[in-house]
Structure 1
Amino acid sequence: MEKLVLYLLLLVNTLWCTAAASGATTPTAMDFVQASCKTTLHPPLCVRCLSSYAGSIQGSDHRLAKAAVTVSLSESKSAAAFVSKLARVRGIKPREYQAVKDCISTMSNSVASLSQSVQELAQVARTTGQDFEWHMSNVETWVGSALTNQNICSRGFAVNGHVKDAVNKRMDYVSQVTSNALALVNRFAVRHRKGIHKP
C-alpha cells in the first residue's frame, strides 16, 4: 500500500503543461495571449500553457485556438497514460480497478475527440461561410465531448482513497486545460463571424 501511495504522489506532482512550441516571443505576442486568456475560466493556467506558443500565434485567433486544443490533446494523452499505469499498480482494490478501466475508455474517447478537433482546425483556415460554420461546429462539439469524458472519468470513482484522489486531481487539471481550449475555440468562432479576427 505504501508503494501505491508513493507512486500516486510521484505521478500527480508532475502536473504541468508539457506541450512546447518554437517561435520568438515578443511583448506584443504575450499581450495577445494574456488578453485572450482573460476570457477563459482559468486565466493563469491558460497563460502558462500557451506562453511558449506566443511567438508562433502572433495575434492570430485561429492559431491561438489551435494551440490551445493541441495543448489539451497533449495533456489528455498524458492523463490517459497516467490512468493506464494505475491499472497495473499492485494494491488497487477491485472497485477502483473497474473505475480505472472505465476511465481508460472515456479518456481514449477524449483523446480521439481532441485529435479530430486539431485536424478540423487545420481545415478551418481555408474555409468561409457555411463551410467555416460546419468545421467550427465539429470542433466545438468534439472539444465539448472531450471535456465531458474527462468529467465522467472523475465521477466514476465511488470508493474514497488515494486512487480516487490522484485521478480526480489529474482530471481536474486536464479538464481546466480543455475548458480553456473550448473557451478559446468559441472566442475564435465569434470573432471570425464578426470579422475582427486575425488569420
Structure 2
Amino acid sequence: MAQPILSFSLLLCILYFAGTTASAAVGKSSTSLGYIKTSCSSTRYPSVCLQSLSVYANKIQRNPQQLAQAALTVSLNKARSTAAYVSKMTRVKGLKGRQYQAVRDCVDNMGDSVDRLSRSMKEISQTGRSTGQSDFSWHMSNVQTWVSAALTDENTCSDGFAGHGMDGNVKTAIRARVVNVAQVTSNALALINKYASRHRA
C-alpha cells in the first residue's frame, strides 16, 4: 500500500506546483497587460495601441524600452506589408494621370517610412547599452527624428489620395491601410517619447 500512497502524494505535489506556476504566469500576464493599457492611454489611438501590443505582453512585462521596441516592431511590420501592397497597386489596370502618380508617390513615401523605421529599430536597441546620459540621448534623438519622419511619410501618402477624381476602390483600399500604419506609428512615437523623457528625468 505504501507505493500507491507515495504516488498519490507525488501527484498532489505536481498538481499543486503546476497550479501555482500557472497562477503566477496568469498574474504576470495580467500585470503586463495592465501596464500596456495604462501606457497606451497616453497615445492618440489607445484602443489600436492596446490591441496591437497585447500579443507582446510577456516580452514587454513592465519594461518601457521593451514597450517602445514592440511598438516600433508593430509599426515596421505594418509599414512593410503596406509598402508591398501599394507597390502591387501600381499594376492595377486603368490607373492614369493623377491616380497613377498618387500611387507611385505613395510607393516612394512608404519605402522611405520602412527605411526610417528599420533604422529606428536598430538605434533603439542601442539605448540599453548606452554608456551614459549623453549617449542615451543621442540614440533616442535619432529614433525620435526618424519615427517622426516616417509618420510624415505615411501622412503624405494618405494626403495624396484626398479630393475628387481618384478611383474609389484604389483610394479606399490604400488609404485604409496607410491610415492604420500612421496610427500605430503615431502610438509608437508617443511611447518612444515617454520612454525618452522618463529616462532623462
Report the TM-score when normalising by structure 1: 0.83
* Structure whose CA Rg is larger: 2
The unaligned stretches of length 5 or more in structure 1 are: 1-22, 195-199
| CA RMSD, Structure 1 to Structure 2 (Å) | 1.5
Structure 2, unmatched stretches of 5+, are 1-24
**Residue-by-residue CA offset, 1:68-110 (whole Å, 9 max, x unaligned):** 0111000000110110110012222332111111110111000
* Counterparts of 1:92 and 1:163, CA distance in 2: 9
In 2: Cα distance, 1:105 partner to 1:80 partner: 9
1:163 aligns with 2:167: no
Counterpart of 1:138? 142
Written as runs of structure 1 = structure 2, the 5 A alignment for 1:37-186 is: 37-127=40-130, 128-157=132-161, 159-160=165-166, 161-186=168-193
How far apart are the structure 2 equivalents of 1:56 and 1:136?
21
Count of matched residue pairs: 172
Counterpart amino acid of residue 70 in structure 1: T
1:68 partner amino acid: A
The DSSP-based 3-state class of the residue aligned with 1:26 is: helix
**How far 1:132 sits from its partner (Å)?**
0.5
Aligned residue among 171, 179, 196 for 1:189: 196
Q: Distance in 1 between matches of 2:138 and 2:200?
A: 13
Q: Matches of 1:26 and 1:73 in 2, distance apart? A: 25
Using CA pairs below 8 Å that are at least 6 residues apart, which structure has the higher relative contact order?
1
CA distance in 2, matches of 1:80, 1:104: 6
The Cα shift of 1:191 comes to 1.1
Q: Which residue of 1 aligns with 2:9?
A: none
Matched to 1:69, the amino acid is L
- Same amino acid, percent of matched pairs: 49
TM-score where L is the length of structure 2:
0.82
Runs (4+) off by over 6 Å:
none
